[in-house]
Amino acid sequence: MKAILVNHAIIDCMGERYKSYGMLGKKHSEETKKKIGIASTGRTHKMSEEGKRRLREFRKGKPAWNKGLKHPAIAGEKHWNWQGGKTEESLAVRSSVEYKRWRTKVYERDGFKCVLCEYVGNELIADHIKSFSRHPELRLEIDNGRTLCKECHKTTPNYCGKARTC
């Protein structure tokens, strides 16, 4: 049986979850503590400078061991938090040329400053007055946008989906 470990749970190739916490929440007996102490006597956990240099040279230019690693047993519709593929739609809209034009027009209309505190700088956000997710027909309407700084954006009623009714 092939299995992977994710957040203290073993997931087998069929997507079944089995909890595995090892020693979490348990205590070693005094005898075990003595054995561990004897076994680790004289060990140092520090690597020499030469060893560090050689390891750096060995790893240079190589991708991380988990780069591009896929977990098909818990991907897509099999994942517990799957919400119907809505990320793909949102990403497509937000990376479109039309959306980028909308943002630029909102910034230009507001004079590249926050409409609430008049902050001018590089931390400006083109905010949707009516929610991006709940009002798809208004996503690219310039009248539904305003320029806010990061701090003022956090105070808006629909910041990060706070508002449930719009």
Supply the pLDDT for residue 164.
Answer: 53
Residue with more model confidence, 127 or 43 = 127
- For residues 80, 81, 85, 89, the Cα torsion angle rounded to the nearest 10 degrees is -170
With 0.85 as the threshold, say if the pTM is over it: no
Angle formed at CA 160 by CA 155 and CA 163, multiple of 5 degrees? 75
Tokens (6 digits) for 145: 């946008």
| Residues 77-83, mean pLDDT to the nearest whole number | 87
pLDDT tens for 86-102 read: 777 888 888 899 999 99
Tokens (6 digits) for 140: 């690219």
* Reported confidence tier of residue 142, pLDDT bands at 50, 70, 90: very high
